[in-house]
Amino acid sequence: MLFDDTLRDALRNVRTIAVIGAKDKAGQPVDMVGRYLITAGYTVIPVHPIRKNVWGLPTYTSILDIPVPVDVVNLFRASEFCLSHAEEVCRLATLPSIFWMQSGIRNQGAGRLMAERGVRVVEDKCIMVELQRLGIKGPA
């Protein structure tokens, strides 16, 4: 569990966010959150195994295909898929500072794996809601 001060400090350093399960389908939470993050000034990197262009951005089939380090891995996937995504994240040359499972998404195994590697873990919270609640307008 991250307390507000810890979460606020961690989010203030965020610049690049990989969104796993990204899709630009109107009315979907992932679309609303992705567009919010882009508008707020974050570098958003969509990840989807089939889609090639989400939010007008190049979209990668896997987190492992992204050529730059990311600060946050933000998951819009069912809870049962989170552990396999955490295992992929562990194979990155540079680990993210935060592994974020969106509202309704929890996975103890994924959380444990990330925490063991020093990555902060957020479960069952919307990154957009938390940024707004903590008063973070975008990257500094």
Cα four-point dihedral sign 134, 56, 53, 64: negative
Q: What is the domain count for the chain?
A: 1
83 lies in a domain? yes
- Pairing mode, if any, of strands 53-54 and 57-58? antiparallel
Strand 16-20's sheet: what is its strand order? 43-47, 16-20, 72-75, 98-101, 120-122
Does residue 71 carry a pLDDT above 90?
yes
79 lies in a domain? yes
52 lies in a domain? yes
pLDDT band (50, 70, 90) for residue 3: confident
Q: Which domain holds residue 106?
A: 4-133
138 lies in a domain? no
Residues 62-78, mean pLDDT to the nearest whole number: 97
Report d(CA 20, CA 140) in Å as an integer. Answer: 24
Tokens 């969104």: give the residue.
19
pLDDT band (50, 70, 90) for residue 50: very high
140 lies in a domain? no
73 lies in a domain? yes
54 lies in a domain? yes
Q: What is the domain-level CATH number for residue 33?
A: 3.40.50.720
Three-class SS state of 59:
coil
Residues 29-48, mean pLDDT to the nearest whole number: 98
Rg for the chain, CA atoms, rounded? 14
CA 79: distance to chain centroid?
A: 14
pTM of this structure: 0.96
139 lies in a domain? no
